[in-house]
């Protein structure tokens, strides 16, 4: 690969709580000269950037006006070629629905060998904050991470097959970007999973404004509507959610 004058690092900022940053992520942020920041990265994390660093917000959020992906990639490439120490700061983990794979491919095709620093993903942080796991020897033998918002033109998720796999394998489902399609997802999953399957919706995982509602698969969409839960949220479905009620968590953390 040809050597570029600058560097680029894709950094997972985690779900929002700055104390969940890895030391490696913190060092990268503190050494950046320019940061391209996603919408879901908290201000408390951006505050770790040097005061001389240029911060460029390139938000991408489902249902909202977003910066085109190709434009973000061009900005990153240009900054590296200009000698900047570039940090692409992403909510959660760059490689879990963070488009990090696309950006890494683009950079490598241009001769830039970018680094990737993992971050804690929102699905894990959210359920952990409620005192429950994603896997459990008695209740969940594995976990499936899914997006409820597939790339246009790439087909739709076979939720019925996912439900059958989760049922037969005792798997936890963690669904990102699924709020707008929650009613459809619920209907399809009910073809193979019981309506009584525990579920929880967690909004703003790990942040001070976090809210959650414990429900069942059969009541999922009704609960989201009634409690006015919205993006960014993760939906977690499976028997591990029983642990939240067992620990005495309130069914809903309401807004002040």
What is the CB neighbour count within 10 angstroms for residue 144?
16
Q: Rounded distance, CA 198 to CA 205, Å?
A: 19
What pLDDT, on a 0 to 100 scale, did the predictor assign at position 255?
A: 35
Asked whether residue 225 is assigned to any structural domain, the reply reads yes
150 shares a domain with 41: no
Whether residue 101 sits in one domain with residue 195: no
pTM: 0.90
- Find the catalytic residue in 17, 38, 76, 93: 38
CB 192 within 8 A of CB 163: yes
17-32: string of b/e by CB count within 10 Å (b at 16+)?
bbebbbeebeebbeeb
Could you list the mean pLDDT of each consecutive 10-residue stretch along the chain, which spans 256 residues? 75 96 98 96 96 91 69 94 96 94 94 96 96 95 93 80 98 97 97 97 95 97 97 97 68 40
191-239 pLDDT tens trace: 999 999 999 999 999 999 999 999 999 999 999 999 999 999 999 999 9
How many distinct structural domains can be found in the chain?
Answer: 2
Nearest in space to 58 (alpha carbons), one of 88, 79, 37: 37
pLDDT of residue 247: 54
Active site (annotated) includes residue 179: no
CATH number for the domain harbouring residue 223: 3.30.950.10
Same-domain check for residues 166 and 102: no
Q: Is 90 considered catalytic here?
A: no
Tell me what pLDDT residue 243 has: 81
Catalytic residue among 90, 93, 177, 179: 177
Residues 6+ apart with CB under 8 A from 113: 1, 107
Size of the chain, expressed as the number of residues it contains: 256
Residue 97 belongs to domain spanning: 7-117
Within this chain, do residues 72 and 186 fall inside the same structural domain, yes or no?
no
- Residues 97 and 137 occupy one common structural domain: no
- Give pLDDT, residue 2: 46
Active site residue 1: no
- Which position among 17, 60, 76, 179 bears the catalytic label? 60
**Which pLDDT score, from 0 to 100, does residue 148 have?**
94
127 shares its domain with 163: yes
Dump the DSSP string for 201-231: EEESTTSTT-EEEEEEGGGHHHHHHHHT--S
The token pair at 206 is: 């790990």
- One domain for residues 164 and 103: no
């Amino acid at each position: 690969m040809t050597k570029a004058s600058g560097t680029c690092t894709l950094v997972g900022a985690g779900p929002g709580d700055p104390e969940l940053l890895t030391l490696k992520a913190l060092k990268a942020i503190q050494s950046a000269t320019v940061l391209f920041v996603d919408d879901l990265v908290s201000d408390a994390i951006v505050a770790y950037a040097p005061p001389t660093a240029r911060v460029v917000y390139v938000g991408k959020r489902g249902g909202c006006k977003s910066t085109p992906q190709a434009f973000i990639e061009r900005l990153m490439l240009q900054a590296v070629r200009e000698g900047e120490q570039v940090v692409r700061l992403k909510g959660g983990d760059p490689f879990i629905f963070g488009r990090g794979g696309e950006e890494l491919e683009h950079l490598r095709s241009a001769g830039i060998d970018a680094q990737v620093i993992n971050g804690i993903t929102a699905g894990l942080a959210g359920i952990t904050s409620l005192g429950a796991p994603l896997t459990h020897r008695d209740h969940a033998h594995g976990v499936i991470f899914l997006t409820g918002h597939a790339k246009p033109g790439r087909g739709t998720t076979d939720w019925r097959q996912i439900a059958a796999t989760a049922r037969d394998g005792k798997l936890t489902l963690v669904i990102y970007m699924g709020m707008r399609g929650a009613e459809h997802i619920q209907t399809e999953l009910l073809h193979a999973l019981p309506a009584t399957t525990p579920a929880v919706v967690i909004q703003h995982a790990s942040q001070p404004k976090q809210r959650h509602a414990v429900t069942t698969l059969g009541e999922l969409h009704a609960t989201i509507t009634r409690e006015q839960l919205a993006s960014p949220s993760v939906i977690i479905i499976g028997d591990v959610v029983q642990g939240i009620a067992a620990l005495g968590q309130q069914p809903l953390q309401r807004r002040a």
